[in-house]
Chains A and B, each alone.
Chain A
Amino acid sequence: MTALIKQTLLQIITPSQYVAQSEAIFARMQSAGSLPTAGRRTLIDTTVRKLIEAGIWPLGKALWVLRAETAIQASVNWITPSASLLVPVNSPVFTANSGYTGDGVSAYITTGFTPSSSSQQAISGELVAGSNSAGGEISTNDTSSIFTLTLRNTAGTIFGTVQRTNGPTYSLPGSINPYIATVSRGATAARTLYLNGAIVGTNSTGTDTTAIAALNFLGQPARSSYSVNTLGMAFITDTVTDTQAAAINTIFTAYRNGV
Protein backbone atom coordinates (compact mmCIF):
# COMPACT_ATOMS: atom_id res chain seq x y z
CA MET A 1 0.00 0.00 0.00
CA THR A 2 2.83 2.37 0.91
CA ALA A 3 4.48 1.75 -2.43
CA LEU A 4 1.22 2.51 -4.20
CA ILE A 5 0.83 5.78 -2.30
CA LYS A 6 4.42 6.72 -3.12
CA GLN A 7 3.87 5.96 -6.79
CA THR A 8 0.66 8.00 -6.88
CA LEU A 9 2.31 10.94 -5.13
CA LEU A 10 5.23 10.73 -7.52
CA GLN A 11 2.87 10.90 -10.49
CA ILE A 12 1.15 13.94 -9.00
CA ILE A 13 4.25 15.95 -8.15
CA THR A 14 6.45 14.94 -11.10
CA PRO A 15 5.87 17.15 -14.12
CA SER A 16 5.30 15.32 -17.39
CA GLN A 17 8.33 14.78 -19.54
CA TYR A 18 6.24 15.71 -22.58
CA VAL A 19 4.78 19.03 -23.66
CA ALA A 20 0.99 19.32 -23.45
CA GLN A 21 0.58 19.11 -27.23
CA SER A 22 2.39 15.77 -27.30
CA GLU A 23 0.37 14.44 -24.38
CA ALA A 24 -2.83 15.24 -26.24
CA ILE A 25 -1.54 13.29 -29.25
CA PHE A 26 -0.59 10.30 -27.11
CA ALA A 27 -3.94 10.34 -25.33
CA ARG A 28 -5.79 10.26 -28.63
CA MET A 29 -3.62 7.47 -30.01
CA GLN A 30 -4.13 5.45 -26.83
CA SER A 31 -7.90 5.94 -26.83
CA ALA A 32 -7.97 4.88 -30.49
CA GLY A 33 -6.12 1.71 -29.52
CA SER A 34 -2.39 2.26 -30.12
CA LEU A 35 -0.14 4.09 -27.66
CA PRO A 36 3.29 4.64 -29.25
CA THR A 37 6.31 2.97 -27.67
CA ALA A 38 8.38 5.03 -25.25
CA GLY A 39 11.01 5.64 -27.87
CA ARG A 40 8.46 6.83 -30.42
CA ARG A 41 6.79 9.05 -27.82
CA THR A 42 10.13 10.74 -27.25
CA LEU A 43 10.64 11.21 -30.99
CA ILE A 44 7.14 12.65 -31.43
CA ASP A 45 7.64 14.97 -28.48
CA THR A 46 10.98 16.14 -29.86
CA THR A 47 9.35 16.87 -33.20
CA VAL A 48 6.51 18.80 -31.59
CA ARG A 49 8.95 20.84 -29.48
CA LYS A 50 11.01 21.72 -32.56
CA LEU A 51 7.87 22.85 -34.42
CA ILE A 52 6.93 25.03 -31.46
CA GLU A 53 10.42 26.49 -31.14
CA ALA A 54 10.53 27.29 -34.87
CA GLY A 55 7.23 29.15 -34.63
CA ILE A 56 5.62 26.67 -37.03
CA TRP A 57 3.24 24.88 -34.66
CA PRO A 58 0.94 27.93 -34.26
CA LEU A 59 0.63 28.06 -38.06
CA GLY A 60 -0.56 24.47 -38.19
CA LYS A 61 -4.07 23.62 -39.31
CA ALA A 62 -3.64 19.86 -39.60
CA LEU A 63 -0.72 17.43 -39.42
CA TRP A 64 -0.65 13.72 -40.03
CA VAL A 65 2.58 11.75 -39.66
CA LEU A 66 1.88 8.59 -41.60
CA ARG A 67 5.40 7.32 -40.99
CA ALA A 68 4.14 5.79 -37.74
CA GLU A 69 4.39 2.54 -35.83
CA THR A 70 0.79 1.59 -36.56
CA ALA A 71 -2.02 2.64 -38.86
CA ILE A 72 -3.95 3.89 -35.85
CA GLN A 73 -1.11 6.19 -34.80
CA ALA A 74 -0.84 7.42 -38.38
CA SER A 75 -4.50 8.37 -38.40
CA VAL A 76 -4.30 10.99 -35.64
CA ASN A 77 -4.19 14.68 -36.54
CA TRP A 78 -1.41 16.05 -34.36
CA ILE A 79 -2.68 19.64 -34.45
CA THR A 80 -6.22 18.70 -33.41
CA PRO A 81 -6.01 15.23 -31.90
CA SER A 82 -9.73 15.22 -31.07
CA ALA A 83 -10.57 15.49 -34.77
CA SER A 84 -11.82 12.48 -36.69
CA LEU A 85 -9.28 9.83 -37.60
CA LEU A 86 -8.13 9.16 -41.15
CA VAL A 87 -10.26 6.64 -43.04
CA PRO A 88 -8.48 4.38 -45.55
CA VAL A 89 -10.76 3.62 -48.50
CA ASN A 90 -10.30 0.51 -50.70
CA SER A 91 -7.27 -0.63 -48.69
CA PRO A 92 -4.25 1.56 -49.42
CA VAL A 93 -1.23 -0.29 -48.01
CA PHE A 94 0.10 0.85 -44.65
CA THR A 95 3.74 0.03 -43.97
CA ALA A 96 5.02 0.66 -40.45
CA ASN A 97 7.47 3.58 -40.29
CA SER A 98 7.03 4.33 -44.01
CA GLY A 99 3.46 5.50 -44.52
CA TYR A 100 0.56 4.73 -46.82
CA THR A 101 0.93 3.65 -50.45
CA GLY A 102 -1.79 3.97 -53.07
CA ASP A 103 -2.68 1.44 -55.76
CA GLY A 104 -3.19 3.92 -58.59
CA VAL A 105 -6.64 2.52 -59.28
CA SER A 106 -9.07 3.16 -56.46
CA ALA A 107 -7.40 3.40 -53.04
CA TYR A 108 -7.19 6.64 -51.10
CA ILE A 109 -7.60 8.12 -47.65
CA THR A 110 -10.18 10.59 -46.45
CA THR A 111 -9.04 13.04 -43.79
CA GLY A 112 -12.35 14.51 -42.66
CA PHE A 113 -10.56 17.86 -42.85
CA THR A 114 -11.81 20.65 -45.09
CA PRO A 115 -9.24 23.42 -45.53
CA SER A 116 -10.23 27.03 -45.06
CA SER A 117 -11.00 29.22 -48.06
CA SER A 118 -8.00 31.42 -47.26
CA SER A 119 -5.54 31.88 -50.07
CA GLN A 120 -2.71 32.29 -47.59
CA GLN A 121 -1.89 28.67 -46.85
CA ALA A 122 0.85 26.13 -47.36
CA ILE A 123 1.03 22.37 -47.84
CA SER A 124 4.01 20.27 -46.91
CA GLY A 125 4.35 16.59 -47.57
CA GLU A 126 6.91 13.83 -47.36
CA LEU A 127 6.64 11.71 -50.46
CA VAL A 128 8.30 8.50 -51.47
CA ALA A 129 7.97 8.38 -55.20
CA GLY A 130 6.76 5.23 -56.87
CA SER A 131 6.31 5.03 -60.60
CA ASN A 132 4.32 7.19 -62.98
CA SER A 133 1.44 8.49 -60.92
CA ALA A 134 -1.48 10.65 -61.91
CA GLY A 135 -3.04 10.96 -58.50
CA GLY A 136 -2.80 13.70 -55.95
CA GLU A 137 -0.85 12.77 -52.86
CA ILE A 138 -2.36 15.63 -50.84
CA SER A 139 -5.32 17.16 -52.62
CA THR A 140 -8.77 18.50 -52.05
CA ASN A 141 -11.26 16.23 -53.80
CA ASP A 142 -12.31 18.82 -56.35
CA THR A 143 -14.84 17.85 -58.97
CA SER A 144 -13.68 20.35 -61.56
CA SER A 145 -10.37 20.59 -63.31
CA ILE A 146 -9.38 23.45 -61.02
CA PHE A 147 -7.01 22.44 -58.28
CA THR A 148 -7.54 24.46 -55.16
CA LEU A 149 -5.16 22.90 -52.67
CA THR A 150 -2.84 20.24 -53.91
CA LEU A 151 0.65 18.81 -53.71
CA ARG A 152 1.39 15.96 -56.02
CA ASN A 153 4.01 14.06 -57.96
CA THR A 154 2.98 13.21 -61.49
CA ALA A 155 5.47 11.24 -63.52
CA GLY A 156 8.36 12.58 -61.47
CA THR A 157 7.26 16.20 -61.53
CA ILE A 158 6.16 17.87 -58.33
CA PHE A 159 3.20 20.17 -58.72
CA GLY A 160 1.66 22.30 -56.02
CA THR A 161 -0.78 25.15 -55.75
CA VAL A 162 -3.00 26.96 -53.26
CA GLN A 163 -6.39 28.39 -54.25
CA ARG A 164 -5.33 29.02 -57.83
CA THR A 165 -5.14 27.17 -61.11
CA ASN A 166 -1.72 26.35 -62.47
CA GLY A 167 1.21 26.25 -60.10
CA PRO A 168 4.95 25.87 -59.82
CA THR A 169 6.36 22.56 -60.98
CA TYR A 170 9.72 20.87 -60.63
CA SER A 171 11.11 17.76 -62.26
CA LEU A 172 12.63 15.56 -59.61
CA PRO A 173 16.12 14.18 -60.09
CA GLY A 174 15.81 10.43 -59.65
CA SER A 175 18.33 10.46 -56.84
CA ILE A 176 16.08 12.49 -54.52
CA ASN A 177 13.80 10.02 -52.80
CA PRO A 178 12.19 10.32 -50.35
CA TYR A 179 11.78 14.03 -50.22
CA ILE A 180 9.86 16.76 -48.46
CA ALA A 181 8.03 19.27 -50.62
CA THR A 182 6.22 22.42 -49.60
CA VAL A 183 4.06 24.79 -51.61
CA SER A 184 3.18 28.11 -49.98
CA ARG A 185 1.13 31.11 -51.00
CA GLY A 186 1.28 34.47 -49.24
CA ALA A 187 -0.51 37.76 -49.71
CA THR A 188 0.10 37.82 -53.46
CA ALA A 189 -0.77 35.27 -56.12
CA ALA A 190 2.76 33.87 -56.15
CA ARG A 191 3.10 30.28 -55.06
CA THR A 192 6.52 29.07 -54.06
CA LEU A 193 7.56 25.43 -54.32
CA TYR A 194 10.26 24.05 -52.05
CA LEU A 195 12.10 20.75 -52.33
CA ASN A 196 13.83 19.63 -49.14
CA GLY A 197 13.68 23.19 -47.86
CA ALA A 198 15.10 24.94 -50.93
CA ILE A 199 13.14 26.97 -53.46
CA VAL A 200 12.79 25.12 -56.77
CA GLY A 201 9.97 27.02 -58.45
CA THR A 202 7.51 29.90 -58.34
CA ASN A 203 4.37 30.69 -60.32
CA SER A 204 2.05 33.69 -60.31
CA THR A 205 -0.10 32.79 -63.30
CA GLY A 206 -3.54 31.22 -63.30
CA THR A 207 -6.95 32.12 -61.94
CA ASP A 208 -7.97 32.40 -58.31
CA THR A 209 -10.59 30.07 -56.94
CA THR A 210 -12.04 29.65 -53.48
CA ALA A 211 -13.88 26.39 -54.00
CA ILE A 212 -12.74 23.92 -51.42
CA ALA A 213 -13.54 20.27 -50.92
CA ALA A 214 -12.39 17.91 -48.20
CA LEU A 215 -8.74 16.91 -48.22
CA ASN A 216 -7.78 13.45 -49.44
CA PHE A 217 -4.51 11.57 -49.55
CA LEU A 218 -3.39 9.44 -52.50
CA GLY A 219 -6.53 9.89 -54.56
CA GLN A 220 -9.23 12.19 -55.82
CA PRO A 221 -12.20 10.02 -56.78
CA ALA A 222 -13.99 13.10 -58.06
CA ARG A 223 -11.34 13.23 -60.81
CA SER A 224 -10.75 9.47 -61.13
CA SER A 225 -7.20 10.26 -60.12
CA TYR A 226 -5.19 7.93 -57.88
CA SER A 227 -1.57 7.74 -56.80
CA VAL A 228 0.82 4.81 -56.59
CA ASN A 229 3.25 6.76 -54.44
CA THR A 230 3.86 6.59 -50.70
CA LEU A 231 2.96 9.46 -48.41
CA GLY A 232 4.88 9.79 -45.15
CA MET A 233 3.63 13.09 -43.80
CA ALA A 234 1.10 15.80 -44.63
CA PHE A 235 1.05 19.22 -43.01
CA ILE A 236 -1.40 22.04 -43.73
CA THR A 237 -0.37 25.43 -42.35
CA ASP A 238 -0.77 29.12 -42.86
CA THR A 239 1.73 30.69 -45.24
CA VAL A 240 5.29 29.79 -44.39
CA THR A 241 8.44 31.82 -44.96
CA ASP A 242 11.50 30.48 -46.71
CA THR A 243 13.08 29.95 -43.30
CA GLN A 244 10.06 28.07 -42.00
CA ALA A 245 9.91 25.88 -45.12
CA ALA A 246 13.53 24.98 -44.51
CA ALA A 247 12.78 24.26 -40.86
CA ILE A 248 9.87 21.97 -41.77
CA ASN A 249 12.26 19.99 -43.95
CA THR A 250 14.89 19.81 -41.22
CA ILE A 251 12.42 18.79 -38.51
CA PHE A 252 10.70 16.05 -40.49
CA THR A 253 13.95 14.76 -41.93
CA ALA A 254 15.12 14.33 -38.34
CA TYR A 255 11.88 12.50 -37.56
CA ARG A 256 12.36 10.21 -40.56
CA ASN A 257 15.92 9.47 -39.52
CA GLY A 258 14.69 8.69 -36.02
CA VAL A 259 12.12 6.03 -36.83
Chain B
Amino acid sequence: MLILNGTQAAALTGPTGLGAALNPVPLVTGDAWVLPAAVLLDPMHALVVERLSALPKRYVLHTELPQPVNEEG
Protein backbone atom coordinates (compact mmCIF):
# COMPACT_ATOMS: atom_id res chain seq x y z
CA MET B 1 0.00 0.00 0.00
CA LEU B 2 1.02 3.63 -0.35
CA ILE B 3 2.16 5.21 2.91
CA LEU B 4 1.33 8.83 3.71
CA ASN B 5 2.11 11.17 6.57
CA GLY B 6 -0.54 13.47 8.01
CA THR B 7 0.27 16.38 5.73
CA GLN B 8 0.18 14.19 2.62
CA ALA B 9 -3.05 12.53 3.72
CA ALA B 10 -4.74 15.87 4.25
CA ALA B 11 -3.54 17.20 0.93
CA LEU B 12 -4.72 14.17 -1.04
CA THR B 13 -8.10 13.70 0.65
CA GLY B 14 -11.03 14.60 -1.55
CA PRO B 15 -11.90 14.75 -5.26
CA THR B 16 -8.99 14.24 -7.65
CA GLY B 17 -10.54 16.08 -10.56
CA LEU B 18 -11.94 13.41 -12.87
CA GLY B 19 -15.00 12.24 -10.95
CA ALA B 20 -13.26 10.11 -8.34
CA ALA B 21 -11.83 10.80 -4.89
CA LEU B 22 -9.23 9.65 -2.39
CA ASN B 23 -9.67 9.08 1.33
CA PRO B 24 -6.52 7.77 3.05
CA VAL B 25 -7.14 5.35 5.92
CA PRO B 26 -5.28 5.96 9.19
CA LEU B 27 -3.28 3.07 10.61
CA VAL B 28 -4.06 2.09 14.20
CA THR B 29 -0.75 3.57 15.29
CA GLY B 30 -2.10 6.98 14.32
CA ASP B 31 1.16 8.13 12.76
CA ALA B 32 0.57 7.08 9.15
CA TRP B 33 -2.17 6.76 6.56
CA VAL B 34 -2.51 4.34 3.63
CA LEU B 35 -4.02 4.17 0.18
CA PRO B 36 -4.42 1.02 -1.93
CA ALA B 37 -1.75 0.70 -4.62
CA ALA B 38 -4.59 0.35 -7.13
CA VAL B 39 -5.04 4.12 -7.14
CA LEU B 40 -1.74 4.40 -9.06
CA LEU B 41 -3.25 2.55 -12.02
CA ASP B 42 -6.64 4.25 -11.92
CA PRO B 43 -6.96 6.74 -14.80
CA MET B 44 -9.50 8.66 -12.75
CA HIS B 45 -6.61 9.78 -10.52
CA ALA B 46 -4.38 10.78 -13.42
CA LEU B 47 -4.22 14.39 -12.29
CA VAL B 48 -2.50 13.42 -9.03
CA VAL B 49 -0.59 10.35 -10.18
CA GLU B 50 2.79 12.09 -9.92
CA ARG B 51 2.18 12.86 -6.25
CA LEU B 52 0.94 9.32 -5.66
CA SER B 53 3.93 7.78 -7.43
CA ALA B 54 6.28 9.63 -5.09
CA LEU B 55 4.81 7.99 -1.99
CA PRO B 56 6.64 5.07 -0.33
CA LYS B 57 5.09 1.62 -0.55
CA ARG B 58 5.12 -1.31 1.82
CA TYR B 59 3.05 -4.34 2.78
CA VAL B 60 0.56 -3.45 5.50
CA LEU B 61 -0.54 -6.12 7.94
CA HIS B 62 -4.26 -6.56 8.50
CA THR B 63 -3.70 -5.87 12.19
CA GLU B 64 -2.32 -2.43 11.35
CA LEU B 65 -5.66 -1.37 9.89
CA PRO B 66 -8.62 -0.19 11.98
CA GLN B 67 -10.92 -3.10 12.73
CA PRO B 68 -14.53 -2.80 11.57
CA VAL B 69 -17.28 -2.11 14.04
CA ASN B 70 -19.42 -5.12 13.37
CA GLU B 71 -22.61 -5.76 15.24
CA GLU B 72 -26.04 -6.73 14.03
CA GLY B 73 -28.66 -9.30 14.58
Residue of A nearest to B41 (CB): A91
- Give complex CA distance A3, B67 in Å: 66
- Give complex CA distance A36, B69 in Å: 39
Contact present for A159 and B65 (CB under 8 Å): no
- Give complex CA distance A88, B23 in Å: 10
Residue of B36, B38, B72 with most partner-chain A CB within 10 A: B72
Contact present for A154 and B70 (CB under 8 Å): yes
Q: Point out the residues of chain A lying under 8 angstroms from B66, CB to CB.
A: 224
The 10 closest A-B pairs by CB, nearest first: A224-B66, A225-B68, A91-B42, A134-B68, A223-B69, A91-B38, A106-B25, A89-B21, A91-B39, A88-B20
Contact present for B21 and A110 (CB under 8 Å): yes
- A123 CB within 8 Å of chain B: no
- Give complex CA distance A194, B3 in Å: 42
Interface size on A, residues (CB 8 A): 29
Choose from B1, B21, B34 the contact partner of A88 (Cβ within 8 Å): B21
Contact present for B21 and A226 (CB under 8 Å): no
- B44 CB within 8 Å of chain A: yes
Contact present for A223 and B68 (CB under 8 Å): yes
Within B21-55, the residues touching A (CB, 8 Å) are 21-25, 34-36, 38-39, 41-42, 44-45
User: Chain B residues in contact with chain A, CB under 8 A?
Assistant: 1, 15, 19-25, 34-36, 38-39, 41-42, 44-45, 65-73
Within A165-210, the residues touching B (CB, 8 Å) are 166-167, 169
Contact present for A106 and B45 (CB under 8 Å): no
Q: Point out the residues of chain B lying under 8 angstroms from A159, CB to CB.
A: 72
Q: Point out the residues of chain A lying under 8 angstroms from B38, CB to CB.
A: 90-91, 93, 103, 107
Contact present for A225 and B36 (CB under 8 Å): no
Contact present for A169 and B69 (CB under 8 Å): no
Q: Point out the residues of chain A lying under 8 angstroms from B45, CB to CB.
A: 91
Contact present for B72 and A166 (CB under 8 Å): yes
Query: From residue B50, how far is it (CB to closest CB) to chain A in Å?
Result: 17
Query: From residue B67, how far is it (CB to closest CB) to chain A in Å?
Result: 7
- Give complex CA distance A107, B66 in Å: 14
Contact present for B72 and A90 (CB under 8 Å): no
- A105 CB within 8 Å of chain B: yes
Query: From residue A147, how far is it (CB to closest CB) to chain B in Å?
Result: 6
